[in-house]
């Protein structure tokens, strides 16, 4: 069995540390309500689950070894976040106007935002590759232990983001007046752009 208790103690701290996932869930909770926030949280954790599984099978190590592959995925992910944030800022200046049909929030777009924000961030795969093996017990089935630890990490992340989605959406009910909504969209858009810029400029 893996060293579950030490792993959970550190994983909880990692999960609750604010990042782009929390920013996306918060943005969609405040601007589009609970359903959009929950879909975003599910998308985020679907991406995390994919990276955790892929890392257990060695993809994380491949990204860690290949500078070109890592950089390509990182820059694509950074560009996606910058575009997503810029779109939020742009629409914040157009408050009161009807959104174009192709850019209006759809039932699946928050989920897609969540999953893409993770799948296009190779640092998550490298994190799992370096973090999870520290809690694997020698002599046991390594793959099974890595998958179990990845599942527990994802479960913690899902619980945290769903909690954020529900609580923030309740606050958001009082903050969806046009001017307040536009200001929130602008601020969260800038935060997401900042995360994209940081991802583009950070080294492994």
Burial profile 177-196: b = 16 or more Cβ within 10 angstroms, e = fewer: eeeebbebbbbbbebbbebb
For the chain, what are the domain ranges?
Answer: 4-201
pLDDT of residue 37: 92
pLDDT of residue 39: 94
pLDDT of residue 152: 94
DSSP the chain: ---HHHHHHHHHHHHHS--HHHHHHHHHHHHH-HHHHHHHHHHHHHHHHHHHHHHHTTHHHHHHH-HHHHHHHHHHHHHHHHHHHHHHHHHHTTTTSPPPTTTS--SSHHHHHHHHHHHT-HHHHHHHHHHGGGGPPTTS-HHHHHHHHHHHHHHHHHHHHHHHHHHHHHHHTTS-SHHHHHHHHHHHHHHHHHHHHHHHH---
pLDDT of residue 47: 92
Tens place of pLDDT for every residue, the chain, 204 residues?
A: 678 888 998 999 989 888 888 888 988 887 788 899 999 999 999 999 998 888 888 776 666 677 777 788 778 888 888 888 887 787 767 654 444 333 344 445 899 999 998 888 877 877 888 788 888 887 778 888 889 999 999 999 999 999 999 988 887 666 666 676 777 777 878 888 888 888 788 765
pLDDT of residue 173: 62
pLDDT of residue 199: 77
């Amino acid at each position: 069995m893996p060293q579950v208790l030490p792993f959970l103690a550190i994983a909880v701290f990692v999960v609750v540390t604010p990042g782009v996932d929390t920013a996306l869930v918060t943005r969609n909770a405040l601007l589009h309500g609970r359903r959009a926030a929950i879909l975003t949280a599910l998308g985020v954790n679907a991406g995390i689950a994919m990276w955790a599984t892929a890392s257990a099978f060695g993809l994380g190590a491949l990204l860690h070894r290949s500078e070109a592959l890592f950089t390509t995925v990182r820059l694509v992910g950074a560009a996606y976040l910058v575009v997503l944030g810029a779109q939020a800022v742009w629409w914040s200046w157009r408050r009161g106007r009807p959104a174009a049909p192709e850019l209006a929030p759809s039932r699946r777009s928050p989920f897609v935002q969540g999953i893409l924000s993770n799948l296009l961030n190779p640092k998550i795969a490298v994190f799992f590759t370096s973090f999870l093996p520290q809690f694997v017990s020698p002599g046991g089935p390594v793959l099974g232990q890595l998958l179990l630890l990845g599942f527990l990490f994802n479960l913690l992340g899902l619980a945290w983001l769903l909690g954020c989605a529900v609580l923030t959406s309740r606050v958001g009910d009082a903050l969806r007046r046009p001017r307040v909504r536009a200001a929130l969209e602008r601020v969260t858009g800038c935060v997401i752009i900042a995360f994209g810029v940081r991802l583009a400029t950070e080294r492994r």
